[in-house]
Structure 1
């Protein structure tokens, strides 16, 4: 038997496959555990910043919930990858972060007017803080919790793209 002769044009694709092979797909990052850890850390940091800023100006900043949500979602997706659970987990954690930030604002304001230390108010009277938050919560308080969740979900999707 004789060997096949390459085409005279010198084109390696002539007479055979007319298309170059596709490059291999990019590796998929799917580190859910690390994404959740990153989201929890981002939520705690964002809650602290939200509470500190709100306490310093002696009122809550509802629009800061957008930043909290985006930070949590972005961190989760950047570290954790494309797992579809991360945007949902980020949304839930961002609600908790905004709530915790609002509790910190309340504790800071109580310490300014009550004379007790922040740690005493926050850790020693946490149940009272939650009761005070519930009493003072109004419609916009819940709207901003929802905005934080939506922004976290969108932030995770955006960082994943």
Structure 2
């Protein structure tokens, strides 16, 4: 690369603005191999038309894996149900924000892993309903285990029908409202995460 040399007896600072290229004619060679090209120039330059200073990034791969999305939603439902049940067992109350969290976690996991598949929001809503139901049952079992001489696992696995009857007796409009809120949160979470 060659740079133009200023005329003798004329230092850089004596030129207008101190620019060594100030007197150069337009179109004169500057040492830049891409100087005369226009953005989008079909010259074979892979960076033609790219904004200066912007790194070249390939497009993001499309995610559309139904199987992985379903698996992620199922695992998230199991974990969220356990956490929701533990919250109910510790506080002895159903908390609406926790039900929203269950739905959102299930939907977000399914959508993030599975992508834009239109089946995932629907399946996420169903999985969140199941997760909220089992979370509420687990919470009932934890509350009952504190008052009865049985363990949570005995109540949950050996006396499931009695546990379900106790859940039905304790359920009210708010309990069913939490189901609806969790399903909506799961549906919207899967749609947003899949984008």
**For the Cα contact (< 8 Å) 2:94–2:175, is it kept in 1?**
no
CA distance in structure 1 between the partners assigned to 2:37 and 2:105 by the alignment: 55
CA RMSD of aligned residues (A): 2.2
Higher relative contact order (CA 8 A, sep 6+): 1
- Pair 1:91 & 2:125 matched: yes
Which residue of structure 2 lines up, in the alignment, with residue 143 of structure 1?
177
SS in structure 2 of the partner of residue 30 of structure 1: coil
Q: Give the C-alpha shift of residue 26 in structure 1.
A: 4.1
CA distance in structure 2 between the partners assigned to 1:122 and 1:79 by the alignment: 31
The structure richer in helix per residue is 1
TM-score normalised by L of structure 2: 0.70
Which residue of structure 1 lines up, in the alignment, with residue 21 of structure 2?
none
CA distance in structure 2 between the partners assigned to 1:10 and 1:39 by the alignment: 51
TM-score normalised by L of structure 1: 0.84
Larger Rg: 2
Cα gap change, 1:10/1:44 in structure 2, threshold over 3 Å: closer, same or farther? closer
User: Structure 1 segments of 4 or more deviating over 6 A?
Assistant: none
Q: Give the C-alpha shift of residue 127 in structure 1.
A: 1.0
- Pair 1:37 & 2:62 matched: no
Q: Give the C-alpha shift of residue 99 in structure 1.
A: 0.5
CA distance in structure 1 between the partners assigned to 2:122 and 2:188 by the alignment: 10
Q: Give the C-alpha shift of residue 62 in structure 1.
A: 2.4
Structure 1: tracts of 5 or more residues without a match: 1-8, 15-19
Q: Give the C-alpha shift of residue 132 in structure 1.
A: 1.3
- Pair 1:158 & 2:192 matched: yes
